[in-house]
Structure 1
């Protein structure tokens, strides 16, 4: 505890606000943009292996942000002396971008310099081999793990890091139009995952250099584990779009679009977001990106090839369409025409399904398969669908990349096993390898947000605590400001999300927008309703969005100030992805609040360990940590069976939503009514129902059936 803060409680000192552009407002994720989106900036030693002299001041290397600022400073002077041509738009921006690229052109670094830069950004790359099945090492000895790693062929790699986006065109040869699109969107400094993955995916022979002694490196399979909001979407879209642009340059007929890349995402919201980002990146390149829809076909039959030519000639006079209607046997079905397909696993598997359940229509032209949120796609819920899509891509040169913020060892083993089996099935001669990229500490939350664990004891206590966060003058126990909108509220089930929305919809005054400022989003809504809610939240019309885990993965809300876990997440990975909706792209000031009750105590330890690891990465002192050591020692450790039940069904007391569950009747209800009020209401309903039964019994008629609202009544309490 800060002794100065403790002694100055009685004084009327004004709390010093953090510095900002406006001079007074506190730093929030929604307040402007960050100059450096990188999460880790460890100091690189000036001279490695040499002793420092006494009294010598160590000077750290310049960060990419400083280099970029100097470049922009000199560019502004050079552009003033260049005459502008009339009739050309954004001419100064093009000259500025070209000069910055020339200045940022650098020679390749040696292995020692690469190692230091990668370690300063906490990047760890390892080469994994899929030619042999992995054996589980013994847990008793660490030496056995190292010996097993050598047998499997895994070894550390130190490729060239990407220090500025200008190097993409000068060193790795991306298209100039793509470089202009990146510059116009404001991308200057790459994040850690972009720094380590883009050189490998664009030009692996240049990035690896002397390390490329394991066979062909033309197609690198990558498994990337990076924190939420670190730019993984851009990291896998740039190589895909660039490869298609380079192919179209040498193509004779540039009007032909063949499906070359598939991006698989677990939810429709994430898939729609990836489509939008890919379209921004491919402006002016001729690359067509489309999202999968129900009923769409992406493969044509042999007897339909003649009809495709007739349909394509009809579009010569006007704008080109991304889809084309092909007539087949009196019916009309859309046939997709594009280069990049973004889809969910179920939609795509239905599109390529055949009468035989074990066989699917092959996709021989697909050269890149991206699994975004791979741990979910290879989880038992989506595993069969994802592997069916993977096996349908029969191109020998297929490159597979897997991306997520959390990746278990079982997912890594499954990916290696799938590569090995695919190689044997298709008789591929090249060696099946995966490069694993880990940013920071594996399976941990981002270090630039503040975590809070709040004990609410009961369900009404959680509702009171959430209302305190909604109140603009509320103060928490650590004397920080209340959680400012916009923010997300996560619940365990859909009925609980609906009930919480009905309780809070009138908490915001009518002068501030009233009930329109609070909305709910879940999978039971239609696609149009979900899109409408998402657009309102992104535009700032909605301040508080109550949702389930449908929005916990991948969806990018850059202006979210906080996340509230109204219900404890089902797993540690779910917590990491939920709180990752704030603090995106290195923005500081995000807050993650988690409420827990008596029923949640057996499951809180896993979340508390994640919070402790995140705060340790952020460099917080033990006294400033939100989770103290005594709390970690006091919390019970859940068993494997408890973890499995929690992951599959959530907390037992809240599984049914609004219904009464077991012995804890009424404890799972989200309501402001007290127990005494609910008892009186139940007694009144029971008296009415008993009167009806007696009336029908006296008249000799059959008893009326119980209504749904009366079926929960258990008689009049004493």
Structure 2
């Protein structure tokens, strides 16, 4: 079924195809007509299902159909949890908007950088603003924009917004928005806190829930390689040289590990870089740009990048360190196998993490065959997972207040 059958203009349908969407995904097929009708929408779908295009395409068409005066008045507002995701969505809106007879002015705003260039970008107004909540409040305090004309509000990765402690900021922003507007809430999961927010935000919403099925589940081949912890870097280098993937996203647990592993790979002649919260914005932007253009083969990242990277046809993801929670495992491996492409997700399992990975498997209702690579067979004995708290020693779905503050500070500052 073509995108035009959903009510999109041919120019936007062509732009969607240029972004890699030959036909609408399940979430796009369900959401686009409802959004074009003006309904509030509550949509949940798995990572990599095409949620971003599901709201960007109709948002642009609605903006184009609206009345436009001499001065730009803010039409659409998209709130996101991280700067990487804000940049990604802003880029998608601009690329799609370039196909229209009149190009929208899209401004992206996030913390961790000087506010002055973002204030300058907002001079003369904007049609669509994509922002993290904290920086948007800063801009409002500087009178850089007004929210009184917003027609459509989008909360993307809404579960992550709440996980990172942005509930208070979202509440402040809702008080500044006009009472009559369209509200779109997109999320990968639907925890209790999000249900409460949805009840406050949405008016007679159309609910969309796209469950994982064989037809819409990303084609990700999951592998688990057992190896001693001390030999993971050597195994990583071996895999890069023997399998030679064009690009690999490697997830690690700390900034120190990201720098150490990327440095070791560079010494071996592998084009690699680190991405973590201590990187400056220019360093982050350069690393992502080089990775997308395949000038870098390997990007070694902490979870700051878990929901902020959308790389077309990324063939491989490697969990050098296992994630703390099963949900993070899903978001990590979901960086590959996107938009109908296939991918491989490899997890290194060593003695101390054997029980940890078993619990991830249990909560994800999967079983991954353990592999041994010749020359890297593990020698250390597996360590049993602690069972005293019922969580097997791994982090559950709810973050502690301290973890929320740390995560928000790392991403916003």
TM-score (norm 1): 0.49
Give runs of aligned pairs for residues 149-228 of structure 1, distance below 5 A: 163-168=1-6, 172=7, 174-175=8-9, 177-182=11-16, 187-203=21-37, 219-228=38-47
| Among candidates 338, 341, 349, match of residue 137 of structure 2 | 349
SS at match of 2:165: coil
Shift of 1:386: 2.6
Residue 419 to residue 264, structure 1, CA distance change in 2 (3 Å): closer
SS at match of 1:433: coil
Q: Report the counterpart of residue 295 of structure 1 in structure 2.
A: 115
Q: Report the counterpart of residue 306 of structure 1 in structure 2.
A: none
Matched, 1:404 2:187: yes
SS at match of 1:242: helix
Residue 446 to residue 181, structure 1, CA distance change in 2 (3 Å): closer
SS at match of 1:451: strand
Q: Report the counterpart of residue 153 of structure 2 in structure 1.
A: 369
Tell me, yes or no, if the aligned pair for 2:385 and 2:393 is still in contact at 8 Å. no
Give runs of aligned pairs for residues 294-443 of structure 1, distance below 5 A: 294-295=114-115, 323=121, 335=123, 337-353=125-141, 363-393=147-177, 395-416=178-199, 418-419=200-201, 432-441=203-212
Tell me, yes or no, if the aligned pair for 2:385 and 2:392 is still in contact at 8 Å. no
State the distance in 2 between where 1:228 and 1:286 align: 29
Q: Report the counterpart of residue 327 of structure 1 in structure 2.
A: none
Runs of at least 5 residues in structure 1 that lack an aligned partner in the other structure = 1-162, 204-218, 300-321, 324-333, 356-360, 421-431, 473-481, 508-513, 616-624, 629-633, 650-718
**1:438-492 C-alpha deviation (Å, 9 max, x unpaired):** 22239xx944111122333x420323332331231xxxxxxxxx46231111011
State the distance in 2 between where 1:242 and 1:270 align: 22
Q: Report the counterpart of residue 608 of structure 1 in structure 2.
A: 361
SS at match of 2:3: coil
State the distance in 2 between where 1:552 and 1:483 align: 23
| Among candidates 455, 458, 476, match of residue 226 of structure 2 | 455
Shift of 1:275: 1.4
Shift of 1:606: 3.6
SS at match of 1:365: coil
TM-score (norm 2): 0.82
Give runs of aligned pairs for residues 215-254 of structure 1, distance below 5 A: 219-248=38-67, 251=68, 253=69
State the distance in 2 between where 1:164 and 1:377 align: 33
SS at match of 1:639: coil
Residue 500 to residue 221, structure 1, CA distance change in 2 (3 Å): same
SS at match of 1:450: strand
**1:509-533 C-alpha deviation (Å, 9 max, x unpaired):** xxxxx25x11111121111111111
Give runs of aligned pairs for residues 514-533 of structure 1, distance below 5 A: 514-515=269-270, 517-533=271-287
State the distance in 2 between where 1:504 and 1:383 align: 40
**1:376-425 C-alpha deviation (Å, 9 max, x unpaired):** 102253222233223321x2222222223233233223321x238xxxxx
Shift of 1:352: 2.0
SS at match of 1:585: coil
**1:517-574 C-alpha deviation (Å, 9 max, x unpaired):** 1111112111111111111111111001101112110421112111111111021111
State the distance in 2 between where 1:490 and 1:176 align: 39
Q: Could you tell which deviates more after superposition, 405-414 or 274-283?
A: 405-414
Q: Report the counterpart of residue 308 of structure 1 in structure 2.
A: none
Tell me, yes or no, if the aligned pair for 1:406 and 1:573 is still in contact at 8 Å. no
Shift of 1:580: 0.7
| Among candidates 639, 644, 657, match of residue 390 of structure 2 | 639
CA RMSD of the aligned region, Å?
3.2
State the distance in 2 between where 1:336 and 1:600 align: 54
Tell me, yes or no, if the aligned pair for 1:175 and 1:246 is still in contact at 8 Å. no
- Relative contact order (C-alpha < 8 Å, sep 6+): which is higher? 2
SS at match of 2:221: strand
Structure with the greater alpha carbon radius of gyration: 1
Residue 387 to residue 504, structure 1, CA distance change in 2 (3 Å): same
**1:7-28 C-alpha deviation (Å, 9 max, x unpaired):** xxxxxxxxxxxxxxxxxxxxxx
**1:282-326 C-alpha deviation (Å, 9 max, x unpaired):** 223242211126425999xxxxxxxxxxxxxxxxxxxxxx84xxx
SS at match of 1:471: helix
Tell me, yes or no, if the aligned pair for 1:405 and 1:577 is still in contact at 8 Å. no
State the distance in 2 between where 1:387 and 1:165 align: 35
Give runs of aligned pairs for residues 53-68 of structure 1, distance below 5 A: none
Residue 336 to residue 388, structure 1, CA distance change in 2 (3 Å): farther
Shift of 1:180: 4.9
SS at match of 2:135: helix
Give runs of aligned pairs for residues 96-111 of structure 1, distance below 5 A: none
Shift of 1:503: 2.3
Give runs of aligned pairs for residues 583-622 of structure 1, distance below 5 A: 583-588=337-342, 590-609=343-362, 612-613=365-366
Runs of at least 5 residues in structure 2 that lack an aligned partner in the other structure = 372-383, 401-413
Q: Report the counterpart of residue 701 of structure 1 in structure 2.
A: none
SS at match of 1:366: coil
Matched, 1:262 2:42: no
